[in-house]
Amino acid sequence: MSARYDELMALKSLGQTYAYTDRDVMLYAYGIGMGADPMDDKELAFVNEAYFTARPLKVVPTFASVAAWGAGPGEMKLNRLLVVDGERDITFHKPMPVAANITADSSVLGVYDKGEDKGVVIRHKTVLKDESGAELATLVASRFARGDGGFGGPTEGQPEAHAMPARAPDKTVDITTRPDQALVYRLCGDRNPLHSDPEFAKRGGFPKPILHGMCTYGITCRGVLQTYADYDPSAFKQHGVRFSSPVYPGETVSMDLWKDGNVVSFEAKVKQRGVTVIKSGRTVLA
């Protein structure tokens, strides 16, 4: 293999330290659109800690994706302008606390070179742990670097996509995004100007700033929460997706869902443009 491949595969960072509070938990929930209806008690439970009748604040399971924002195996030296999320799969070992000091261990799982002018896919893992060392969540991510292929790494070997049911969806839900949603969600950690700067977005090949893929990921978690999990974060054991196309802020995400036992399969589309934005979605419930 090439020196570049070996360099990427060797990246590892252990014991990265982070801390978050209930403010971060509520900001994330609001960033993925919860609380739009100020009278919806089920969603208010994720964005409002100040109740007349006391009750615990809930944490959206996919908050794990930003709880240690910036954690990773190391500097990959990629063309940031051309990097997008490829997939995200989180295994939840226990519900995320409302506030915590945590550590993150990150390493590279695989590098797949699609060729010059086709890009490279890099898969990496981050394990979040609480102060006692107990595992909270394992995050597996892939990033697609469209401008960094052609250095001689392997071309195949990525995991197979989750197979979708052949029947019609059991349920469909529509979730509307706000025109300013990317400007809110970026405050959860991802300050990539692709999501906020019109000029930067155009240089990246988009007509305007796009919604963060990880915001769309959180939206799909909302879809499962409201349909098959009864808004119970502890019901989630795993939540994974493949990103296929970006959402533009203000569009409506339409989720098709299928439930087979404790597995919920899903895909998401933007009907206005006839585009599938999430493929091979899979949630495992308790």
- Residue numbers annotated as active site: 190, 195
Q: Which phi and psi (to 5°) does residue 39 adopt?
A: -110, 5
CB 149, CB 114: distance < 8 Å: yes
Number of C-alpha atoms within 13 angstroms, CB side, residue 217?
25
* Exposed/middle/buried for residue 278 (C-beta within 10 Å: 0-12, 13-18, 19+): buried
β partners of residue 145:
83, 120
Count of beta carbons in the 10 Å neighbourhood of residue 2? 13
Centroid of chain to Cα 160: 19
* Exposed/middle/buried for residue 167 (C-beta within 10 Å: 0-12, 13-18, 19+): exposed
**Size (the chain), residues:** 286
